[in-house]
Copies of this chain bind each other. A is one copy, B any other.
């Protein structure tokens, strides 16, 4: 376990339990706007197998709280492709590591219905609460026909194959400010920040 806290901001603070710096940067972008300081708590939190992101995130945050006794948020996200009956769903991370974007595009070959939804669940718990509270955000969009990302960029998860509605760019083609206008994670953290203040 290691953590770093952004101490420039005054006021409330929270720890975000994650090992994913991309997720952390999105959260910091949103929470910073609301003047909520956020520290990255680099721990591997327990994730249960469930089709409910809310259930996964709530279980994780309780377990992390029990260990560290800090005000903690945990985020769980999933990509739900309509024509694939919700696959890869909450198991997006494992699916990404194994079959990757190329696997999703292969499964979607010749399929016209390309509708997909990214969902995010942000769960918070601290000693002030009796049970965790959860905020959800969604981003509706389409699976692209091919990977779209700037050559110099690594891309994060399924961002290169997801184009949110009402934009012409895939997530991977946006900078962090643009992405936070459309992203499921930003939407969930925005709800959390509003409540937290």
Contacts and interface: CB of A to CB of B under 8 A. Distances in A.
A94 B91 contact: yes
A48 B51 contact: no
Contact of A85 (B85, B89, B99): B99
Contacts of A97: 85
A95 B87 contact: yes
Interface of A: 46-49, 51, 56, 84-91, 94-95, 97-99, 103, 106-107, 109
Contact of A107 (B46, B48, B94, B107): B107
Contact of A94 (B51, B56, B99, B106): B51
A85 B86 CA distance: 21
Nearest to A109: B106
Nearest to A97: B85
A49 B103 contact: no
A107 to B, nearest CB: 6
A123 B49 CA distance: 17
Contacts of A85: 97-99
B91 A49 contact: yes
